[in-house]
Amino acid sequence: MSLGLPTLRRHARSSGSPRRSASWVVLRVALAAVPAVVSVTAGQMAPPASAADGLPPGAAVPSWAKGRRVRFDPAEPQNPRLSVADRVASNANAAASHAAASPAALSADSMHYYGGPVENEPRLVLVFWGAGWSSSRSLEHELEATAEGLRGSGYQKILTQYSSLSGPISPDLLDSPVVEKYYDPREITTKVTGELAGREGYEVIQRTGGGNDGNATYAVLPAPGTAGLEDGTCGFHEMSGKEWATGPSVAVVMDTDGSAGCGPPSMTLTHEYAESVTDPDGGSGWTRADSGDSEIADVCNSQGAARMADGALVARLWDDSKNACEVEDEDPGSVPIGPYAEPSSIVPSRYGSMNLTIESEKLETSIYPCDLEAHYYFEYGPSTAYGHRTAESGAATAWGPVGVSTTISQLQHNTAYHWRVVVRTSDGTFNGVDHAFSIPWDPEIREEGASDVQSHEANVGGRLQPGGIETTYYIEYGPTEAYGEKTEEASAGRGDVFEGASAELEGLEPGTLYHFRLVATNAHGTTFGEDRTFETHGGKPAVTSLPATNIGYRSASLTGSVYGKYLTTDYYFEYGPTSAYGQRTTEREARGEERPETNTKEVSGLASGTLYHYRIVATNSFYGSSYGADQTFSTYPEPAVETDAATTVGYDDATLDGTVDPRGVGVSYYFEYGPAETYGLRTVDSSAGSGTVDVPEMQSVTGLEEGTTYHFRLVATSGYGTTYGADAAFSTGVKPPLQTDVLATTMTPGIVSPGPLSSEVLTSHALGASPVVKDARQSTARWREDNRLARISRAMTAIGTSFSFSLNERAKVHFAFIQLVAGIGAHSCPVSQHGTGETKRCVEKAARGALSFTGRTGTNRVVFAGRISRQDKLAPGVYELIITATNALNQRSAQVGLRFTIVQA
């Protein structure tokens, strides 16, 4: 179970303990009550008994007893539960007894085993988490010593009463239960919650490979002052089974320095350790018979901490054999573990210490020199870093407590101070427990704010503690922090608790932000509260023009904030190409009245690539309109999209062409096509890039119907919208039938006429005449290269060149591009060709690519600028173009050639 704040505020704190010796049968503490500290700078207490009391004659004082007041009593009989034989028999009897008994038959005060896990051989891993431990070594050693001192102690004996039915909890640990100390020096930058501390434990388990050790407890110790205790949890433990099938427990000590009221951290550590051993999963191990959630240490929370024989402060445990909360080897007095310092037994004054004057404080406590020469001083300051210290003083050499005190002055009003005593001996330096006090003689103010705010009035105030002196107060207010107005003074009395202090403000301006503060005065001076603000209702709406969103080619979402100030408010947006606007959206009513709200309105029909101005305007019927600041945005430039004529149109296929200028925006494109202007079909998306020049685009479509007119257009899309090219159309051809009869059809595309064939038709088709290519020419034989793809055009163009030729029938046309490469000495020309045996200048021919398309009957033109495909284009040089045509009967024409030269662009 977890350990909470309310139960532990009574706990004190002590130092830790070294291990005890196995040579001595029983160790018991002879305790003497600590007498009240006298108000002197250093007064020696009554000396205690000798440290060697009770030792057998000639026996040496064991090293662990040095600096401690202990009494050895060899005559005391051995506790029978320490006997291994007795323990085994007892466990066997307990197993049979628990197996036969029902929970209802048990005493309500007894612990009961509910079938869950226990730790048979307890192991403890101390996880020191945070960089703060580097400056808290004494506390670190105290916690280590407390844990290591559990071996063989009476505390460990109580745990051995509780065993699972499958085996006992070991009463005789061979060594300290502390098997490892793990240091995680990472800086803790936020307040540690229970969840974060538990997660730290799980992570350390993973790093150390201890995930399957069901006998281990990982005790997470956040650096002092890093834990947040808002939920009042001082410590807790939980099983890590959710991470491993059978895993260790994670125990957490949240308040490691005891400053939050949880008591000594050694008590929290031993509390959670004991419960991890007897009930790791928090409910199915050993718990109270009358309740499933009271574990062996929870039962004893109200009794606070107790000391073991070695002086360690630990949690009390429920001892079934005695029906009481015990530590077994504790003594009712106090043990001086020294040298060290702890709180004095004096009753503190009203503010936690001995106030002498308004600006001074007397601090008193006790130190334990332990027969060593000791010196001490006091540290104090507004935090646990202190910052101030008194001069060092000497203390009387004594075994027991020595009262020490000092008076500090020049303190500030209304300030909390921390202090502690520091003791220095030949054994080292030891820090006392941190204490706190304050001197709240000036009135103390807690601001609370404004309430019942209206258009012309408001109730404002806070809480005030007069500090035991007759005090008056008033409230300053105004539109700035200079205030300018104040209420009449009123009495706050002279109490020492916080009481409400308020005033009604009237005659305020509507819709105005006001500042105010509470001011209190008594005989010692004036105290000013913190500045607070409120805003009266009404007035013109508050509006803010916010950045536009969802900007496209021709649309955008205008955004603004409206605060109606509790009045019905309408708003709209003004927008246009200048700050004169010229257009506005329809009015809408703001949804809320209590706070600003964000509103958005989409506008369309804008011009692409244009700068627009806009602002939000809000109006109520009482006070008028408010105008937001001018804002601007620019629509994105819409790509230029042009649908060109289709090329290479066949019987059932065609190449669709167009041009896209992305205008700097990433654009993709596709073609829509179909037998009507509603299209219905489309090609796949392709990238057009994000350049700023025209890019020719083309895609082939197949599966078309013969003799059909198709419409198509180029479409460009981006994240800012869609742009459509103009509609264009083309018609597919009709395949000619094979004719062996005297009846046939003419082969003019698109016209079918039954009737007898003329002798010319019979000659050219029935008799198998080849197609004819003639009148081949080019617009220029020398031109510059360009990136455009070749396309058929009815119009002349100045880009590149234009090849033209005529066909006597519709046929498939093939362009072959042959580069003519001249060289000297590269090859030898045959003698018969040149008439001599000399090496002559020869010309090599290299095929560089080809184009194929369907040519129509009559004149055909091909606009060409050097590019054969999207990937390939002709390099500058001299070329020969070979033109051939093949008709539907697979008859080929004679070759026709043209020669041209491409120069560097």
Report the distance separating Cα 510 and Cα 322, nearest Å. Answer: 75
Rounded to a whole number of angstroms, the distance between the first and last alpha carbons of the chain is: 86
DSSP 843-898: EEEEEEEEEEEEEPSEEEEEEESSBSSSS-BPPSEEEEEEEEEE-TT--BPPPEEE
| Helix and strand counts by DSSP (H, E) for the chain | 8, 63
- Which residues does 467 contact at the CB level (< 8 Å), separation at least 6? 440, 441, 442, 443, 444, 496, 522
Give the CA-trace dihedral at 734, 740, 741, 745, to 10 degrees. 20
DSSP 292-352: TT--TTGGGGGG-EEE-TTS-EEE-EEETTTTEEE-SS--SSB--BSSEEEE-SSPP-TTS
Q: Say how many residues make up the chain.
A: 905
Residue 618 has φ and ψ, to the nearest 5°, of -130, 145
Look-up of token digits 């009262």: 403
pLDDT at 566: 81
pLDDT at 729: 93
The alpha-carbon radius of gyration of the chain (Å, integer) is 50
Per-residue pLDDT of 705-715, as tens digits, reads 988 999 999 99
pLDDT at 764: 42
Give the residues across from 298 on adjacent strands: none
Is-contact 856 749, C-beta < 8 A?
yes
Residue 736 has φ and ψ, to the nearest 5°, of -70, 140
pLDDT at 675: 93
pLDDT at 616: 95
Report the distance separating Cα 231 and Cα 4, nearest Å. Answer: 8
Report the distance separating Cα 419 and Cα 755, nearest Å. Answer: 124
CA angle, 881 as apex, 880 and 886 as ends, to 5°?
145
DSSP 490-534: EEEES-SS-EEEEEEE-SPPTT-EEEEEEEEEETTEEEE---EEE
- Give the residues of the chain that fall short of pLDDT 70: 1-108, 163-168, 171-175, 240-246, 290-293, 329-359, 370, 399-400, 414, 439-442, 447, 591-594, 737-768, 786-799, 822-843, 905
- Which residues does 487 contact at the CB level (< 8 Å), separation at least 6? 474, 475, 477, 503, 505
Structure-block tokens of residue 820:
């003519």
Instruction: Estimate the share of the chain in helix, then strand, then coil, as percent rounded to the nearest 5.
Output: 10, 40, 50
Nearest to 97 by CA among 108, 112, 85, 83: 112
Is-contact 604 673, C-beta < 8 A?
no
Nearest to 652 by CA among 705, 582, 608: 705
Quickly count: other Cβ atoms within 10 Å of residue 580's Cβ.
8
> Which residue type occupies 209?
G
pLDDT at 41: 28
Run of H or E including 207: helix 194-208
Per-residue pLDDT of 397-424, as tens digits, reads 876 678 888 888 888 776 788 988 888 8
Structure-block tokens of residue 569:
């408010």
pLDDT at 831: 42
Report the distance separating Cα 879 and Cα 898, nearest Å. Answer: 8
> Which residue type occupies 585?
T
pLDDT at 547: 95
Beta strands in 187-332 (DSSP E): 216-222, 233-239, 249-253, 286-288, 305-307, 313-315, 317-319, 324-326
Run of H or E including 624: strand 624-627
pLDDT at 361: 82
pLDDT at 3: 60
pLDDT at 441: 61
pLDDT at 628: 92
Is-contact 140 96, C-beta < 8 A?
no
Give the residues across from 362 on adjacent strands: 354, 407
- Which residues does 263 contact at the CB level (< 8 Å), separation at least 6? 8, 9, 10, 11, 12, 13, 234, 255, 304, 305
pLDDT at 89: 36
Structure-block tokens of residue 404:
């020490």
CA separation (Å) from 187 to 130, 132, 134, 265, 312? Answer: 5, 8, 11, 21, 29
Report the distance separating Cα 690 and Cα 308, nearest Å. Answer: 81
pTM for the whole structure: 0.35
Structure-block tokens of residue 895:
């070759």
Q: 801-807 and 471-478: which strand pairing?
A: unpaired
Is-contact 429 401, C-beta < 8 A?
no
DSSP H helices, 691-770, are: 759-761
